[in-house]
Structure 1
Amino acid sequence: MSGNKKGSFIKGAAILTAAGLAARVMGFVYRIILTRIIGAEGMGLYQMAYPIYTTLLVVSRSGIPIALAKLIADKIAASEKKAAYQIFKVARRMSFFIGLLISILMALVAKPLLNLLSLDPRAYYAVIAISPAIFIVSIMAAYRGFFQGMQDMVPTAISQILEQFIRMITMISLVIFLVPTGIKFAAAGASFGAVSGSLGGLLVLFFIYYKRRENIFSFLARGEDQLTIKSGTIVKDIVTLGVPITLGALVMPLMSLVDLIFVPHRLQVAGYLVNQATRQYGMLSAVAMPLVNFPTIITVSLSASLVPAIAEAFTLGRKKLINYRTQTALRLTVLISLPAATGLFMLAEPITDIIFSEPGAAVPLRFVSWGVFFIALQQTSTGILNGIGKTSLPARNLALGALFNAVINYTLTALPAFGIRGAALGTTIGFAIAAFLNLYYVKKESGFIIDFKSLILKPIIAVLLMAGFVKLAYLGVFILLTKLNFIYAYQFTTIAVIVMAGFIYLFILLLLKEIKYNDLAVMPAFGERLASLLLKRGLLEEE
């Protein structure tokens, strides 16, 4: 077990990141397919089960793998390897009983909870179908935490990819099979994908664990003899570390749960029938939000890599390096998220129509599209704050944003003039508040100085010019293709304009000298050659 080597750690982290991206892409794909099969109403039923599931899942397992990884890594570093394995066994038992209890609880309270929240009663089948997944995922979390504590990220990466792949196949197959029996059963089939997927992920972890058990036990046996740690002490250590992590992780699913509680009910107050409210909720949660979240894949990775980089500079007391890395991270975040938000806003209807076959979802998407920008800023600034050791601030700021989201959702969604627009607006404002509070504390705690020209002025100029091109090009290309009687004029125009807009935006940034040498050089395969070529042409600046 050579997990302590820096090279293997970096390799493992890269594999884990790639696995996360692959799982995210598969998740986006199955949402597209399912929405086309069962529509926004069916996805609304599926989404009603999901926030309940994710909230209870966070309570069941979120703190354990991280706490377990830290405790095991600490014991291995201290050569107390037998104690490390003992910690894993206690954590595994905790995961088993907590997961089993919460799975049963979810199944038992499904019907009264839906009635209490005034939700569509047809969602009951979806809630029941997904409830066993909590038990399975909780056990899986213990094994992932064990391998991560030994600095071996490969098993987690493999299980993530297999879990999502099996989930995708199960969901699509069951939905196709169950659609003739009714939309509520099809939604339940989609929910059951979480059960089969997590079971597949757990089985592959079992396989890896037992295949490597001789090497694992041999590695652990090389530790110094230690006194047996009491199980109560281990439980206390896991709880002490895990509870704050769990509370922080609860904020995001609670925001989704707030939407679930308020949006369908307040839409009914606004005058929608139950099935209409479910459909509207599905358009926001199952169509608009996946489109908003997809571009943030990049900023999630950026945030993860930012934590050690900022932490290193902070430990060394190098304020200039902190400022440089913070400036670079925020600049890249703005350059990526601002055009994505603008594009979703301007092309909301063709994008939702072509991808999901739900053009009506353009209504909430236009209001929540700017959430791309604020979610990205919130993620990156969270990485910066975590890097300087202020780990409680991002969770607190996000909780405050969630509170504003709840108030706006409750107030505006019930007004006929707003409807689902109010819910979308609440989400955007909630993340905006969290992002701006994070940025305030980044400046306060790190002494970061905002470069107005690089962070604000140049990106806005580039986006405005890109937006002008999109407006003119879309109309021009569509009219031309229509006159030529091109069958897929609508689809081709949308895709062509998005691609051209990306090149136009990049070209404008190059002209404004906003793209730096290192921004391109870090790209795999061709990045360094492209950066060198553009540097010779005078289109790039060295940092």
Structure 2
Amino acid sequence: MADNKMTPEQLHLVKRNNIFKGTMILALAGFITRAIGFFYKIFLSNTMGAELLGIYQLIFPVYGIAFTVYATGIQTSLSRLVAAELGKRNDKNIFRILRIGLLLSVSLAFIMSTLVYFGSDYIALRFLLEERSAKSLRIMAFVFPFCGITSCINGYYYGLKKTAIPASTQLLEQAVRVIAVYGIALWAGNGELSVTCELAVVGIVFGEIASCLYNVLSLFFPKSPDKFLVLEPDPNAKMSSKKQITKEILHVSVPLSANRLLINILHSIETVLIPTMLRRFGLTTSEALSTYGI
């Protein structure tokens, strides 16, 4: 926390440096994560085959729609509200905003988990048009609450302009996913790599649980919220009611989630239509999924 006598120029410089530093950290983490993901997809293609990879990729529209419902808008609203409280030098509401956001996100995540788990056969057959994806959907359903927790805590840190935790979370999740899939495949295959769709989804679960635990643990070793303020806390700042904070979170998150949900639904329809149209124009199911999986 800086001296309360900072000039406007010094304050502007501190904020600009924080933004630049945060941007660079996220950009570097994003680059490394995408590089790992690129080679991981090659690994999956070689060990699963194009057809199974196509089935594996079919479940992600469901993942994207569910994530939009329980996380996308709430994460953004948490970032915005925490940043606003930081700007007002009010450290009293910051943890309360996080707690309420977590409650909303995890509640929605459990609802989505229940719907996907028990509706997996219907979703696989009627929406994805590939009944073999049902088991993968049931496994994936377990990950939603962990994703909700991670996204909320990341949003909290984005609002505090502390991007190191979200950036390292991305790297940890990707690393654990790859190591888990490789290790289990090697163990199950008695030294020979053999990856199934279900195992690849288990890797997602392991990665998300690891990143969730890491994020939760990071909250137990933090500076107190007032330490993130550039200036001294406002002694006249008041704590908002839970009802008011909930209303503010929903006011920001609902329109964002609705907009993103529409985009994801359209993208999901496009994704599902690709193998369907390939089959319609003469390819077998195996050939269509193989083409889609490449």
Give the TM-score, by structure 2 length: 0.85
Match of 1:83 among 46, 71, 93: 93
SS of equivalent to 2:258: helix
Deviations 1:172-219 (A, max 9, x none): 334455679xxx97111111222111111122212222111x533666
Distance 1:176 1:41 in 2: 21
What is the CA-CA distance between 1:118 and the residue it aligns to? 6.0
- The equivalent of 2:143 in structure 1 is 133
Distance, in Å, in 2 between the alignment partners of 1:32 and 1:189 is: 16
Q: Which amino acid aligns with 2:284?
A: L
| Aligned residue in 2 for 1:275 | 286
99, 113, 116: which one aligns with 1:103: 113
Cα distance, 1:255 vs structure 2: 4.4
SS of residue matched to 1:6: helix
Q: Which residue is 2:224 aligned to?
A: 215
Which residue does the alignment assign to 1:28?
38
Distance 1:172 1:119, change over 3 A: farther
- In 1, Cα distance between equivalents of 2:128 and 2:19: 48
1:346-402: CA deviation from partner (whole Å, max 9, x where unpaired): xxxxxxxxxxxxxxxxxxxxxxxxxxxxxxxxxxxxxxxxxxxxxxxxxxxxxxxxx
What is residue 7 of structure 1 aligned with on the other side?
A: 17
Matched, 1:234 2:245: yes
Root mean square deviation, CA, Å:
2.6
* Structure 2 SS opposite 1:210: coil
Question: Rg bigger for which structure?
Answer: 1
2:83 is aligned to: 73
CA shift for structure 1 position 130 = 1.6
Q: Does 1:192 align with 2:196?
A: no
Aligned pairs for 1:381-396 (under 5 A) are none
Tell whether the 8 Å contact from 1:60 to 1:95 is kept in structure 2 after alignment: yes
Say if 1:136 and 1:198, in contact at 8 Å, map to a contact too: yes
Which one-letter code corresponds to 2:216 in the other structure?
F
Partners of 1:38 and 1:186 within 8 A in 2: yes
Number of the residue aligned with 1:162: 172
Q: Deviations over 1:491-522 (max 9, x none)?
A: xxxxxxxxxxxxxxxxxxxxxxxxxxxxxxxx
Q: Is the contact made by 1:63 and 1:242 (CA closer than 8 Å) also made in structure 2? A: yes
Question: Separation in 2 of the partners of 1:25 and 1:159?
Answer: 16
> Residues 37 and 228 (structure 1 numbering): CA distance in 2 closer, same or farther, change over 3 Å?
same
2: CA distance, partners of 1:36 / 1:61: 33
Structure 1 CA distance, aligned partners of 2:38 and 2:128? 29
Q: Does 1:254 align with 2:265?
A: yes
2:230 is the alignment partner of 1:244: no
The alpha-carbon deviation at position 282 of structure 1 amounts to 1.4
Per-residue deviation, 1:37: 0.7
Aligned to 2:6: none
Task: Give the Cα–Cα distance (whole angstroms) in 2 for the partners of residues 260 and 218 of structure 1.
Answer: 46
Separation (CA, whole Å) in 2 of partners of 1:6 and 1:57: 32
Equivalents in 1 of 2:280, 2:227: separation in Å?
64
For 2:72 and 2:33, the matched residues in 1 are separated by 18
Alignment of 1:412-451 (within 5 A): none
Aligned partners of 1:82 and 1:225 also within 8 Å: no
The Cα of 1:14 is off from its aligned counterpart by: 0.6
Aligned with residue 156 of structure 2, among 127, 131, 146: 146
What code does the residue aligned with 2:170 have?
A: Q
Instruction: Give deviations 1:269-313, integer Å, cap 9, x for gaps.
Output: 333333333222212xxxxxxxxxxxxxxxxxxxxxxxxxxxxxx
Letter paired with 1:173: G
**Relative contact order, higher structure (CA 8 A, sep 6+):** 2
Partners of 1:76 and 1:118 in 2: CA distance: 44
Identity of aligned residues (%): 23
- How far apart in 1 are the matches of 2:15 and 2:92? 21
Contact 1:43-1:187 within 8 A present in 2 as well:
yes
Count of matched residue pairs:
279
1: CA distance, partners of 2:97 / 2:197: 39
Paired residue for 2:8?
Answer: none
Q: Answer yes or no: is the 8 Å Cα contact 2:47–2:195 preserved in 1.
A: no
Higher alpha-carbon deviation: 252-261 or 142-151: 252-261
- Name the CA shift for 1:36/1:131 in 2 (closer, same or farther; >3 Å): same
Kindly indicate whether the alpha-carbon contact (under 8 Å) linking 2:55 and 2:289 is maintained by their aligned counterparts in 1.
yes
Give the 5 Å matches for 1:475-490: none
- Paired amino acid for 1:84: I
Q: In structure 2, do the counterparts of structure 1 residues 100 and 175 end up closer, same or farther at CA, with 3 Å as the change threshold?
A: same
User: For the residues of structure 1 that align with 2:195 and 2:133, how far apart are their CA atoms?
Assistant: 9
CA distance in 2, matches of 1:231, 1:216: 18
AA matched with 2:79: A
3-state SS in 1 of match to 2:264? helix
- Indicate conservation of the 8 Å contact 2:94/2:225, yes or no: no
Residues 26 and 185 of structure 1: CA distance in aligned 2, closer, same or farther (over 3 Å): closer
Which residue of 117, 123, 136 corresponds with 2:127?
A: 117
The 3-state SS of whatever aligns with 1:211 is: coil
Partner of 1:57: 67
Once the two structures are TM-superposed, the CA of residue 61 in structure 1 deviates from its matched residue by 0.3
Q: Deviations over 1:415-466 (max 9, x none)?
A: xxxxxxxxxxxxxxxxxxxxxxxxxxxxxxxxxxxxxxxxxxxxxxxxxxxx
Report 1:29-48 matches (<5 A).
29-48=39-58
Alpha-carbon separation, structure 2, partners of 1:179 and 1:13: 42
Q: Distance in 1 between the 2:99 and 2:78 partners?
A: 10
Q: TM-score, normalised by structure 1?
A: 0.48
